[in-house]
A and B are shown apart, each in its own frame.
Chain A
Amino acid sequence: LGAVTVTALLVSHDGARWLPAVLDGLARQTRSPDCVVAVDTGSADAGVALLEQHLAGTSTSTSLVAAPAGSSYGAAVRAGLAAVPASGGDDWVWLLHDDSAPAPTALERLLAAALDNPSASILGPKLREWPSLRRLLEVGVTISGTGRRETGLEPGEYDQGQHDRVRDVLAVNTAGMLVRRDVLERLGFDERLPVFGNDIDLGWRAARAGLRTLAVPDAVVFHVEAAHRGVRRTPVTGSFRRAERRAALYTVLVNCSPWAFPFVTLRLLLGSLVRGLGLLLVRAPREALDELTALASVYARPDRIVSARLQRRRSATVPARAVRHLLAPPWVPYRHGVDFVTEVGSAVVHQAGDLSSARRERGLAATETGPVPEEAQSLPADTGLLARLVANPVAAVFAVLVVAALVAARGLVGTGMLSGGALLPAPGSATGWWAVYAEAWHQIGLGSAAPAAPYLLPMAVAGTVLLGKAWLLVDLLFLMAVPVAAWGGYRFLLQVTGSRAAAAWGGAAYGLLPVLGGAVQQGRLGTVVATLTLPWLAHAALFLGSADRDRRWRAAWRTSLWLALLSAFVPLAWVLAGLAAAVMVGTGVVGPRDGSHRRQWSMWGPVLVALAAVPVLLLPWSLESGPARGAAWWLFEAGLPAPALVDPLSRWDVVLGRPGAAGAPGWLSIGVLVAAVLALARPDTRRRVLGAWAVLVLGLAVTAVLAGTSFAPLSGSPAQPLWLGFPLLVVQASGICAAAIAATGIRLRLTGVSFGWRQPVGVVVVVVALLSPIAGVVWWVAHGSGGPLDRAAASTVPTYMSDAAAADPLHGVLVVRGSHVGRFDYLLLRGPGLRLGDDTVLPPVSRERPLTRIVTDLVTGPRASDIAALARRGVGFVYAPPPADTDLVANMDSVSGVSSGSALRPGSRAWQLEATPTATALHEHPSAARPWLLAAQALALIAVAVLAAPTRRRRR
C-alpha cells in the first residue's frame, strides 16, 4: 500500500452538528489518509472553528480551504484538490461529507478492494443511516428510466450482511467515495448539478468512459443525508425536492443513449405531469409544485441539455448499451407505482380503521360516563351477528327496519320498471344517464340544448358502480330508503347527542319520514334522496364549528360536496342552507368570540366557501339552466312536478310534515311534534335544542313563502303549486333532532329531581314520542307500497315504433293524448319513451311552437301539408294512447300522407307517415360552452374531493 497516496477531502457547510463525529471517525482510521483537505463553503455556524481546531491537532498534512459561499459541490472539490498538488504516483481521493462519519476500517477496506480490483477507478462504501447506524442507505446506486434514484434496498432495511458482496455498480455516493485523482480531475463533477445527483452523473460518465465503479460493502460510512432529508437547506439546494427532481431529470436526459433521447424526453414530460397530478390527488400540493417547477426548469433550457450531451459524447469511449446492465430494469418504475397505490389504499383503510376505533372508544367513553346507564351495552367486540342483534337494541331497530322495508315492498316486486307519480322509469343502463348528462344537444322533441339536471351525474356514477343497472339504483333508493335514511339519522344524532337510545329513536323516526310524508309513494326522487343525504350533510357541517383550523376547512369542503349532492337533487336545499348559514352567523352560533378580522374569516370563511363552492360543483347546470328552464328552475326538485299529486297544504299538513297525497295519516306524527315542542322546556339542553329549532323555523318560513304561490316548471308552461317535500323534511328532521337532544339522559333527569308535575308529563311525552315511530312502522308495513308508484312496463308506445325511433332518431314518434273536452298533450319521442332524467332536458315551450301548431291542426282539421311538415321534422309515427280522441282518430284517418299502423292496446291508434322523415326543419344549436363547463366541473369536483380528504402526511 505504500505507493498509494490518499487525500481525504471533506466538504463542509453548516455541519457543526455532525463534524465532531466525522472528524473523530477520520482520525480513528486504521489506514489514515496521507493528506486531509477540508473545504468550507461559507458556513455560518461553528463548523469552521471546529475544522481549524481539529486539523491543527493532527499529525498528517492538512489544509483548510475556504470556498466562496454558494459554491457547488464540484467547485468545492476542485478547490480542495487545487490546495494539494498531485504526488504523481497512485493518487486517490477520498471524498467525505460533513454529515458522513466513516467507520474506522472504511478507508482500509476501500483501498484493499482497490488493490484487489486494479481496474476499478471509483469505489464506494456501504452507507448506513446515522444516527440509527443499523439501517442500510446505499450499497451502490443506479437510476431508473423515470429519474428515480434506485438503491435496490427496501426502505429501512437493516444491515445483516445481506448485501455484502463487492460488485460493479453504476455509481456510488460521494459520501465516502474513493476515486482515482486523475479520473476525478478528468471527469469532474457537472457544474449544473450543484448538490444532488452529481454522484450518479459522475458514475454514469465514468462507465461510458470505460471505467469501473465498485460498491465495497466491507467499508462502512454512516450518513445523515442532511440535504436529502431537508435537514440542511442552503442557497445552493433551495427546495431539496425540487433540486433533487431537477437533478434526476437532467441526469437522465443528458446521459441516456441518443436513440432513446426523444422517447425519454416525452416520457419524463408526461410522467412528471402525471406525478404532479397524482401528488395533487393525495393532497401534496407542495410536492406537486416542486415536481412541476423542476420539470419546467429543466425543459426550459434545451440548450443546456444539448451542450451537456455533446460534452458527454466527447468523453464516452464505450457504447451506451455497454452500461445498460448497470441501469435499473425498465419494470422498476411500474413496481413502484403498484407499491404506491397499495400504500395509499392501505393508508385509507388504516385511517378508516383508526377512525372507527376512535369512534368506538369515544362511544364507550360516552356510555361509561354518560347519563344514561340503561343503554351502556358495552358488548365484547367479537360477538356474532345474531348475538349482536339479540343483545344490541340499535342493531335490532335497524334489522326491524330492513325487514319492514322488504315486507312493505311486496307490491312493488316483479317485472317492469319502478315508475309512476313523479318518477319516470329508469333508462336501460347507466350509460343512458351518462349520455344525457354529457350531451350538448338532446334528441328530444324538436331538439333541446337545455342542460341536464345535475343529479344525473351522481345517478350515473352510482348506476355504473351497480354494473350499469340503472333500475337497481332506483329500486334501492325507493325501497331501501327507510333503513338507509334511518342509519344516516342515527349516525348524525349519535354525534350530536352521544346517546345511542336517543339516536336510535331519532334515526327510526327520521328514516320513516319519506314513507310517512308520501315521498316514496309519489315517486319523489328528490325528496327521497334528500332524506338519505341530509344527515350526512348535517354531520359534515357540524365540524364547521370545530376548533381546529385544518379540520374546519376540511369540513367546509366536505360540506360543500354533500350540499352539492343534495342540491343536485333539490336545488332549494342550497337556498335553505344559505339562509340557515345567515341565521347561524347572524345569531352568533357560528362566529368569532373576539372581533378580529382574521378570526372572523377563519370562522366564517369555511361556511362561505362551503356555500359558494356548490354552484361551481353543479357547473353546467347552475349557469345554463336559468335561461333554458325559466326563473323558477331552482324551486323544482328531481323528478316530474306531478302537480296532480300536490294538494293545497293545510296547516296541519305543514305541522305534521305531509306535503301531498298518499302519505300516512297525520296523527302518526303527533308524537314527534309533541316531543319537539316540549324539548324547548328542558333548560339544560335548551341551547342546543334552539339550534335545531332555528332550522325548524327557517323550514317553516320557507314553506310559508313557497306554499302560497304557483310556479312554472318550464318557461311558458302553466304555473302550478310546488311540491314542498324538502322544506317539510327539514322541519320534521329539525323537530326530531330537537327531541333527541332533549331526550338524552331524560331518565336520569326525571328521577334526579323530587317528584312533581315534571315526571308524569315527561313520561307521557316519552311514551307518545316512542310510540310515534312504532306506529309509523306498523302503518307502513300494513299499508305497503300503495300510491302512484308502481312497477309497470316502461314503454307506452308500440315496440315497433320505439325500435324504429331508437334505430334512427329521425323516425320520431309523436304521442298525442287528451280529448277535445279537456286538452291535448303531445310529446315527440326519439327513443323508447321518456326516461328518468330526460324530463330535465325537455325543450322550452317556445321552441316547440311549430310542433304545437301542427298538432293543433291534427286535432282540428289536418291537411296533407301538416303531415309533410311533420315528416320534415323527423316524425315517422303518430300514436294516440287509449282512449284515443275520436275526432283525432277521424282526422288522422281522413288525411292523406299517413297510413294506419297497428296499435295493440285497446282504444289506442297509431299511424305511420308515408313520406320518409327528414331533418330539413330541424336545426341543432348545441351549447358550445357545455364541454368546457363539464371540464370545469370535473376539475372542481376533483379539487374539492382532494381538499375534503384527510391530509396525508408524507413520511420520509
Chain B
Amino acid sequence: MTSDHSAPGRRAAAPRRFRGDPASLAATAALVLAVVAVLLTGSARGVEEERGLTAGSLVTHTLLACPDLPPPRRGSAGLEVGSVPGVELGTGGTLTRRAPGKEATALAVRRGRLLRLDDTSRPVVEADGAIAAGLFGFRTDRSPRALAVAPCQAPRARWWFTGAGATLDHSSELVLSNVDPGPAVVDVRLLGPHGEVPTVGTRGITIAPGAQRLIPMSDIAPQTDQMTIGVRASRGRVVAGVRDSFAVQGAVGQEWLPAAERPSRSARLAGLPAGPGSRTLLVANPSSLEAVVRVQVVGRSGPFTAAGLDELRVAPGTTEEVDIGAALNRAGPVALRLRSQVPVLATVRSTAAGDTSYAPSVVPLVGAAAAPVVDRFPATLEVTAGGLSGQVSVVGYDAEGMRVGGTRLDLPPRSTLTWRPGRRAAFLVVTPRRGAVYGAVSYRGAGLSQAALTTLPVRLRQPVVRPALR
C-alpha cells in the first residue's frame, strides 16, 4: 500500500510508471472504454404516440335528423334524401324514416338516386348497411317569395347559431329534438349585442327520448336583436335548428340559420350570394376575452381587405354586427376569412329580392360533399382555395343518379371560383382532389338561400384506442 512512499523522485519514477506498468495501462484502457461507451450512447426516440384519426372501414350506420317544424304559411316543405354515387361504396342496406320516438317506415332508395319527399313530419332518417356511407339529406322550404334550405344533421351535443333575433321585424325560433333512446339535458345561452342575454328557464332543459321542444326567442329574450344561440347538451344529444324570419322591404324572408359546432379562431364563411342586396356580417364572441377580428375577403382574383373591415372588435359575450354590403356589392362571388385570437362565430346575412340568406361557416373538405339543386332557384357553386392552389371535381346528377354535367375546377391560391349546374341536375357532388378547398352552394331566384358543403360520412374515422397501463 505504501510501497511508493520511498520513490526517489518524480523524474525517475514517472517515465517508468507509464512505460510498462500493466496496472496503469489497464487504468488508461478503462478510462478510454468508459469514454467510448459514453460517446456511443444513443438516445431512443420518445414513445411513438399513436394519435389522431385513422381512416377505417366504410360507414355502415348513419342517423340524420332534419329540422322539424311545419312548413311556412303559404308555402311548402319537402325532404331530399340521397347517397353519393359510387360503385366502390357498395349497394344494399336499409333506409328508414320516422318521427322521433315513433315506428320507422322503410324508404326505397338506391345508391346515387335522390328521393324527394313532400312530407316533413317524419324527419329522422336512419340508414344501415352500405347505403349509410355518403348519406345526405336536406330540407327545403318554399314560399312564393322565399326559399330556405337546411341540411339534415346527426344529433350532437353542441350547436351554435348566429343571427337570431326577437323583434318585430326579426323573429327566430329554436327547435330541439331528441331522437335518441335516452333523455337529453340541454342548456341554452344567448349572446346579444350588449353581452350575454339573461334568460329564465333555459338551463337544464330536459328533453325526453323522442320529444321535441320549440323555444321562440321572443319568449326568452324579447326585443333583442342580433343574437347568437348556444346549445349545449350536458347529457345526451339533440338535433337543433333555428328558423329565422326577417322582414325585408315589406316581405318576410325565411331561412334556417346555419349551425356551427364550436367557435373557431379561423372562420371561413362561404355561400354569399353575388349581386345586389344588403349584407351584414355578424360576429359573436362567446369567450370572456375581447376578440379582435381581422376580416379578409377572398374574391375571384385573390384576397383583399375591404374598407372598414380591417379590424373588428367584439366584446366578450356579445354579438357584433357590421354592414358590409357596400364593400362587397361589386366584388362578385366571394368568401370571407375571419381570424381572431379568441374563438368566434360568424355569419353574413344577405338580403335581396325580399328574402334572406345566412352564409354558413365552413371547413375545408376532406371528402365528397353534396348539395341539392332546387327547381326555379338557380344554384351557384362557390368554392375557395386555401393558401395553396386547389382542385375540385364537381358532378351534377339527376334524381335517378345519372350524370348530367360536371367539371373540374382548378383554384389558384386564395381565390374563389363559381360554377353553375345544368337545369337537369337534381344534386351536386363536390370532391376535393388537391389542396384545401371549402365552399357552399347559394340559391338565388324568387328567394335566397345557401347550403354549406360538408364532408359526408363515408369512411369511419376511428381514433386510436388501446388498453391503458394504469
Contacts and interface: CB of A to CB of B under 8 A. Distances in A.
A643 interface: yes
Nearest to A889: B157
Contact of B466 (A649, A720, A825): A825
B37 A697 contact: yes
Nearest to B468: A825
B87 interface: no
B51 A895 contact: no
Interface size band for A: 35 or more
Contact of B47 (A703, A720, A753, A852): A720
A697 B38 CA distance: 9
Interface in B318-345: none
Interface in B1-47: 1-5, 7, 10, 17, 21, 23-24, 26-27, 30-31, 33-34, 37-47
Contacts of B34: 693, 696-697, 700
B182 interface: yes
B50 A893 contact: no
Interface SS of chain B = mixed
B235 to A, nearest CB: 5
A106 interface: no
A546 interface: no
B24 to A, nearest CB: 7
B1 A722 contact: no
A899 interface: yes
A448 to B, nearest CB: 11
B1 A703 contact: no
A756 to B, nearest CB: 6
B164 interface: no
Interface string A685-717: 111011001101100110110011110011001
Interface in B130-170: 155-158
Interface in B454-470: 460-470
Interface string A656-690: 00000000000000000000010011011111011
B260 to A, nearest CB: 15
B468 A651 contact: no
A852 B466 contact: yes
A684 B4 contact: yes
Contact of A643 (B33, B47, B50): B47
Contacts of B17: 683
Interface residues of B, number: 58
B284 interface: no
Interface in B424-470: 460-470
Contacts of A822: 49, 51-52, 463
Interface stretch (A199-207, A316-324, A855-863, A926-934): A855-863
A10 interface: no
A839 interface: yes
B236 interface: yes
A845 B236 contact: no
B61 interface: yes
Contact of B237 (A700, A745, A852, A890): A890
B37 to A, nearest CB: 4
B88 interface: no
B233 interface: yes
Interface string B217-241: 0000000000000000101110000
Given A445-B467, A640-B470, A817-B468, A680 B31 contact: yes
B200 to A, nearest CB: 25
A752 B5 contact: yes
A293 interface: no
A848 interface: yes
A899 B40 contact: no
A823 B464 contact: yes
A825 B466 CA distance: 5
Query: Which of A697, A753, A839 counts the most chain B CB atoms within 10 A?
Result: A697
Given A677-B31, A752-B2, A894 B24 contact: no
Given A649-B43, A823-B464, A894-B237, A842 B49 contact: no
A683 B236 contact: no
A137 B318 CA distance: 110
Given A710-B44, A895-B181, A684 B469 contact: no
A844 to B, nearest CB: 9
A654 interface: yes
A459 to B, nearest CB: 18
A709 B44 contact: yes
A172 interface: no
A540 interface: no
A722 B30 contact: no
A380 B463 CA distance: 73
Contacts of B3: 684
Interface in A889-924: 889-890, 893-896, 898-900
B2 to A, nearest CB: 7
Contact of A842 (B44, B237, B469): B469
Given A886-B157, A893-B235, A654 B38 contact: yes
Contacts of A178: none
A145 to B, nearest CB: 58
Interface string A703-740: 11001111001100111111000000000000000000
A824 B1 CA distance: 64
Contact of A820 (B23, B48, B53): B53
A20 interface: no
Contacts of B460: 860-861
Contact of B41 (A644, A703, A890): A703
B47 A823 contact: no
A931 to B, nearest CB: 28
B180 interface: yes
A655 B463 contact: no
B157 A890 contact: yes
28 contacts: A371-B2, A445-B467, A648-B44, A649-B43, A650-B43, A680-B27, A680-B31, A686-B23, A686-B24, A697-B30, A703-B37, A708-B41, A708-B42, A717-B467, A718-B50, A720-B44, A753-B4, A753-B5, A817-B468, A823-B52, A823-B466, A824-B465, A843-B467, A845-B467, A860-B460, A890-B157, A895-B181, A896-B181
Given A693-B27, A861-B61, 15 more contacts: A648-B46, A651-B41, A683-B4, A683-B23, A696-B30, A707-B42, A707-B43, A720-B44, A821-B51, A823-B50, A823-B51, A825-B465, A860-B460, A894-B237, A900-B235
Nearest 3 pairs of A and B residues by beta carbon: A708-B42, A648-B43, A825-B468
Interface of A: 371, 424, 445, 640-641, 643-644, 646, 648-651, 654-655, 677, 680-681, 683-687, 689-690, 693-694, 696-697, 700-701, 703-704, 707-710, 713-714, 717-722, 745, 749, 752-753, 756, 815, 817-827, 834, 839, 842-843, 845, 848, 851-852, 855-856, 859-861, 863, 886, 889-890, 893-896, 898-900
Interface of B: 1-5, 7, 10, 17, 21, 23-24, 26-27, 30-31, 33-34, 37-53, 61, 155-158, 180-182, 184, 233, 235-237, 460-470
